[in-house]
Amino acid sequence: MNQEKSFLDRLNYWVKTSIGLKVFTIVFLVLILLIPINMVESLIREREWNQKDAIQEVSSTWGKDQTITAIVLTVPYVTYSTVKGKDDEPDKTVETKRYAHFLPTELDITGSLNPEKRKRGIYEVVLYNSELEISGLFDKPNFKKLNINEEDVNWSQAYIELGISDLRSIQNEVAINWLGQKVKFDPGVKNSDVISSGISANVSSSDTTTAYNFDFKLDFNGSDQIQFTPLGKTTNVKLTSDWPDPKFNGAFLPDYREVTETGFTADWQVLHLNRNYPQEFKGSMNKTGSSNFGVELFMPIDHYAKSMRSVKYALLFISLTFLVYFFTQIKNRLRIHPIQYLMVGLAICLFFTLLIALSEHLSFDLAYLIGASGTIGMITAYSFFVFKNKLLTAILSGILIILYGFIYIILQMQNYSLLIGSIGLFFILGTVMYMSRNIDWYSITKDETHEKIE
């Protein structure tokens, strides 16, 4: 006569056969594996910060990203105000020095960016040298527009200012041709009404002059990007470079650009009507920065960005691999322990760490190939001892190869990654639904090989 099963026997039987418990265990393991995945993401961020520190260190000695603000003509003038005297004292007239600022009618900037790559440790930094020819003209200032009396203007103290965001990068002496005279610039700005960092020069004037033509050359270093402030009533900028990956940014895109594998050419034309400040004004003007435009010497998605994007798919890697294990376990009535699931999950997490380490010394493509090959090989070898079936192991290996190849394709397609990824996930879900269509989830818990306890 069969003895009635004890509670522990029934519990042990339920643990071995419960599909719900198996699914819960797998989901729990996936959530546990998110901890090392988050640690990998933190590692990538740390390495990125180290890269930024290296770039900052090199840029601080070579030259940072530059903003060129050319040029502003400033003419001092005086105003008079009456201060009422105390008690029986007579009223006093107080003289105050103020500044009127005038922007060029025409501003033409032509030049080149000569980039070069340098390394600090394992990190790569993009630097450039720029040679610009800047020319244009000022119309004779119209002080009546600003309600300034001509007799209050002090032309003898007039000066011009050229804005350069990082003065340490200037390579040669800068001198401007102004009214037939060559005038050297002095360091610093005389006031910060318009330009906060730059150089300045005192200039002469004449009552008979109706326009002030100017031209000068500027040779300086920089890194990452260069921007221009369109101070001219008409501002024309033309840049050429042998950098093949420009990223045009700022308030205005080029009117014409040509980008090839050997470099780029870009032309901008900006009118004074396109920006939100006038050609002449009194006092400070802090709106000029909103109209800056230029180009960044863009580095195509680097290995850290690609590694971070690949980690975003870690949950997909782990889930699909576990799903293959789960269906193999169900359809072939294998007994796979949670520890074995965990081992496979940790191997997948190790792939991302391996990818980061290799991509710092090799190209990302080669690093991905080595990391994926090693991970697939390790999981396939381990799965052979778990499944004890060559066909099942070969199927798992093929699925992993397709999965890693699919993710690699997504990483290469920046603009279409969401579309391709969504379509891929749609087909993956459809395949899973098709493969599981005939499974009777209610009867699958019947263990025909279970030995009855008498």
pLDDT of 201 reads 93
**Residue 132 buriedness (CB in 10 A; 0-12 / 13-18 / 19+):** buried
Cα-based distances in Å from 244 to 129, 185, 262, 308, 341: 16, 34, 6, 24, 46
HSE of 13 in the Cβ direction (CA atoms, 13 Å)? Answer: 15
d(C-alpha 75, C-alpha 77), whole Å: 7
Q: What pLDDT, on a 0 to 100 scale, did the predictor assign at position 329?
A: 75
**Bridge partner list, 21:** none
Query: Which pLDDT tens digits describe the chain residue by residue (454 residues)?
Result: 445 566 565 656 555 656 667 778 878 888 888 888 888 888 888 888 887 788 788 777 888 889 999 899 999 999 888 777 676 677 777 888 999 999 999 999 999 999 988 877 777 788 999 999 999 999 988 888 899 888 888 888 899 999 999 998 899 999 999 988 899 999 999 888 899 999 999 998 766 678 899 999 999 999 889 999 999 999 999 999 999 989 999 999 999 999 998 999 999 999 999 999 999 999 888 888 899 999 998 876 577 888 888 888 888 888 888 887 887 777 777 777 888 888 888 988 888 889 888 888 888 889 999 999 999 999 899 888 888 888 888 888 888 888 888 888 877 776 666 777 777 777 777 776 776 666 666 665 554 444 333 3
pLDDT score for 265: 95
* pLDDT for residue 439: 63
